[in-house]
């Protein structure tokens, strides 16, 4: 063995080369700084075939600059969503407190499976989960949970607990051919189908309940469907409610859902379904739980206070649910992955526990605090707790109240501007979050009258098709005509989650996740719409 070459390798890559790392990091920060003054990036030219044909593994050991050069073109070609003109979807810029947490995590690279692999990072996860649980469930007694790869996996945990509740031993024996169903709303995230398929109940056994015009699950339809299922002897493993749907920010009535599922389950002497809430987006409404509306210390716009009060009221329903999914990488403005699955009561996780003999190389695992005994993953990164605790304590409760209120304020401003136009119709006018879904029809069309006709069922299908086609044509026309330096990028959805007559409603969409977006940017959106013919 060439000991000199080995030592050089160790010195370059396994000792902390502070000066080289700082120099490279300065370069990367300089690129991010330059990007901040550029318009939002669109789809850049990509060539997957070339990438696959040229993997380019160097033969000889190099240095950290070689590592930099290998990724730099792709780093530059990746949009950081740092522009305030990014309004396409539920994604925004990351805050720099989160980056401090992420860097600290990456320097130690802990694995959150057991204390042995992460030491105090495991303690940090418990701290972060408890902080979030107390915010969401409002000072719950025995919360626990874990950070996961994303919201889909967090929802999957809930689905698995629900299956174990109605089919004990399924972890070992499987479902043995038994039909088991889960319930969501028609506006729920498509990832619920993913979990139904992966957990083995089958996507056909995921029942979607109709929503109202606010994209909230209809309680009367839920009650009716549950009664039918129990009368047929079908076990209901879980009900996944949504607090802030992806397109329209629909919020399900958690208190009413809790009451209905427990009343009907008791009527048929069956175990109640596991009640989970996908609050990947809407969890931040809990920042206002103790906000004093009468004093209004942050001087939130007066017209917005009734919406904050309604959000406070709806968020009280979290105290009744069994578990929740949050995505801190959305309105926490943290880094991926910062999703968490949190249970209201610690004992809920016993449904997922493994025996110690099943994890022989974690013989030191302790049921009291080592997640390896119940988690889906064996290798689990610690970015979530590091980013969360750094952000929560850097930005603070009032800081997050300001950020969330500002997002709601801008969404409300766009809604009011659009509602003044006859050819426009806001579809989620009364919803509370940062999203705005709306119609833009050709001038001369009465968008609100057409919408009402669709609700009433008095309009023919071919006419509806024509209106929707016109709406998409105008969206595409605006996309081609905008000045990327000053005009916001919007998006288009094929269905907002409300399906009158069984048909989804398409819409334009604007999402106010960037704190730097201004009223002037909103005015430009409206002006660009008025310029359309």
153 versus 115: the higher-pLDDT residue is: 153
Average pLDDT over residues 323-342: 96
Residue 1 confidence class, pLDDT cut points 50, 70, 90: confident
Examine the pLDDT at 495 and tell me if it is beyond 70: yes
485 versus 41: the higher-pLDDT residue is: 485
Q: Cβ distance 375 to 270 under 8 Å?
A: no
What phi and psi values does residue 250 have, to the nearest 5 degrees? -70, 140
Residue 374 confidence class, pLDDT cut points 50, 70, 90: confident
Residues 413-427: tens digit of each pLDDT:
999 999 999 999 999
Q: Which residues pair with 239 in a beta bridge?
A: 183, 275
Examine the pLDDT at 533 and tell me if it is beyond 70: no
User: How high is the pLDDT of residue 76?
Assistant: 85
**Geometric angle at alpha carbon 268, from 264 and 272, rounded to 5°:** 55
42 versus 290: the higher-pLDDT residue is: 290
CA atoms of 37 and 499, how far apart (whole Å)? 41
Alpha helical stretches, state H, 36-136: 48-53, 64-76, 96-108, 115-118, 120-133
User: How high is the pLDDT of residue 42?
Assistant: 61
Average pLDDT over residues 394-417: 96
207: part of which helix (H) or strand (E)? strand 206-209
Helix, strand or coil for residue 6?
A: helix
Alpha helical stretches, state H, 290-437: 305-315, 383-419
Q: Cβ distance 62 to 9 under 8 Å?
A: no
Residues 56-75: tens digit of each pLDDT:
788 888 899 998 998 988 88
Residue 168 confidence class, pLDDT cut points 50, 70, 90: very high
Residue 373 confidence class, pLDDT cut points 50, 70, 90: confident
Residues 475-485: tens digit of each pLDDT:
999 999 999 99
Average pLDDT, the chain: 93
Q: Strands of 144-148's sheet, edge to edge?
A: 144-148, 339-343, 323-327, 274-278, 236-242, 181-185, 206-209
Examine the pLDDT at 342 and tell me if it is beyond 80: yes
Helices 64-76 & 18-35 angle (0-180, nearest 10):
10
Which residues make Cβ contacts (< 8 Å) with residue 240, sequence separation at least 6?
155, 158, 159, 182, 183, 184, 188, 192, 276, 277, 278
Looking at residue 361, the DSSP 8-state letter turns out to be G
Interstrand relation of 236-242 and 274-278 (parallel, antiparallel or unpaired): parallel
Instruction: Give percent of the chain with pLDDT exceeding 70.
Output: 97
For 361, the token pair is 């190389």
Average pLDDT over residues 433-441: 97
C-alpha distances (whole Å) from 57 to each of 62, 67, 90, 424 are 11, 11, 36, 54
What counts of helices (H) and strands (E) characterise the chain?
17, 11
Q: Which residues pair with 241 in a beta bridge?
A: 277
For 403, the token pair is 């950020």
Average pLDDT over residues 230-236: 97
Average pLDDT over residues 159-172: 95
Examine the pLDDT at 367 and tell me if it is beyond 70: no
User: How high is the pLDDT of residue 215?
Assistant: 97
CA atoms of 362 and 357, how far apart (whole Å)? 9
Average pLDDT over residues 513-527: 96
Residue 35 confidence class, pLDDT cut points 50, 70, 90: confident
C-alpha distances (whole Å) from 201 to each of 158, 205, 226, 489, 531 are 14, 6, 17, 39, 50
User: How high is the pLDDT of residue 504?
Assistant: 94
CA-closest candidate to residue 436, choices 526, 333, 528, 326: 526
């Amino acid at each position: 063995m060439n000991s000199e070459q080995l030592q050089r390798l160790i010195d370059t890559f396994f000792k902390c080369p502070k000066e080289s790392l700082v120099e490279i990091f300065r370069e990367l920060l300089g690129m991010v700084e330059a990007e901040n003054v550029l318009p939002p990036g669109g789809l850049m030219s990509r060539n997957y075939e070339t990438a696959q044909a040229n993997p380019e593994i160097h033969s000889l050991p190099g240095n950290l600059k070689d590592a930099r050069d290998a990724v730099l073109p792709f780093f530059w070609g990746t949009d950081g969503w740092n522009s305030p003109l990014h309004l396409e979807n539920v994604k925004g810029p990351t805050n720099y407190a989160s980056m401090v947490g992420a860097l600290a995590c990456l320097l130690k690279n802990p694995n959150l499976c057991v204390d042995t692999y992460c030491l105090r990072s495991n303690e940090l996860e418990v701290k972060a989960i408890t902080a979030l649980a107390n915010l969401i469930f409002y000072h719950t007694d025995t919360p626990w949970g874990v950070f996961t790869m994303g919201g889909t996996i967090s929802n999957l945990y809930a689905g698995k607990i629900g299956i174990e509740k109605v089919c004990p031993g399924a972890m070992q024996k499987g479902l043995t051919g038994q039909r088991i169903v889960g319930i969501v709303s028609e506006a729920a995230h498509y990832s619920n189908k993913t979990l139904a398929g992966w957990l083995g109940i089958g996507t056909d056994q995921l029942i979607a309940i109709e929503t109202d015009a606010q994209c909230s699950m209809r309680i009367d339809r839920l009650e009716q469907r549950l009664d039918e299922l129990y009368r047929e002897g079908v076990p209901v493993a879980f009900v996944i409610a949504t607090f802030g749907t992806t397109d329209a920010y629909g919020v399900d009535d958690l208190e009413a859902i809790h009451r209905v599922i427990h009343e009907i389950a008791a009527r048929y002497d069956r175990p109640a379904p596991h009640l989970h809430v996908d609050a990947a987006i809407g969890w931040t409404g809990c920042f206002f739980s103790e906000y004093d509306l009468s004093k209004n210390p942050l001087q939130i716009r007066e017209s917005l206070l009734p919406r904050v009060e309604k959000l406070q009221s709806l968020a009280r329903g979290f105290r009744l649910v069994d578990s929740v999914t949050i995505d801190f990488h959305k309105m926490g403005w943290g880094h991926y992955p910062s999703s968490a699955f949190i249970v209201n009561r610690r004992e809920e996780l016993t449904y997922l526990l493994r025996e110690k003999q099943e994890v022989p190389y974690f013989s030191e695992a302790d049921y009291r605090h080592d997640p390896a005994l119940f988690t889906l993953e064996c290798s689990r990164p610690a970015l979530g707790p590091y980013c969360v605790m750094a952000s929560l304590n850097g930005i603070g409760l009032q800081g997050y109240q300001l950020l969330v209120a500002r997002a709601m304020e801008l969404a409300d401003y766009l809604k009011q501007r659009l509602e003044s136009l006859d050819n426009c119709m806001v579809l989620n006018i009364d919803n509370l979050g940062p999203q705005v879904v709306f119609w833009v029809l050709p001038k001369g069309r009465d968008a609100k009258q057409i919408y009402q006709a669709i609700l009433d069922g008095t309009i023919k299908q071919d006419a509806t098709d024509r209106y929707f086609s016109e709406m998409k044509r105008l969206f595409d026309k605006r996309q081609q005509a905008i000045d990327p330096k000053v005009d916001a990028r919007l998006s288009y959805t094929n269905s907002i989650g409300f399906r009158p007559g069984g048909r989804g409603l398409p819409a334009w969409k604007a999402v106010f996740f960037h704190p730097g977006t201004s009223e002037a940017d909103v005015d430009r959106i409206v002006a660009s719409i008025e310029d359309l013919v």
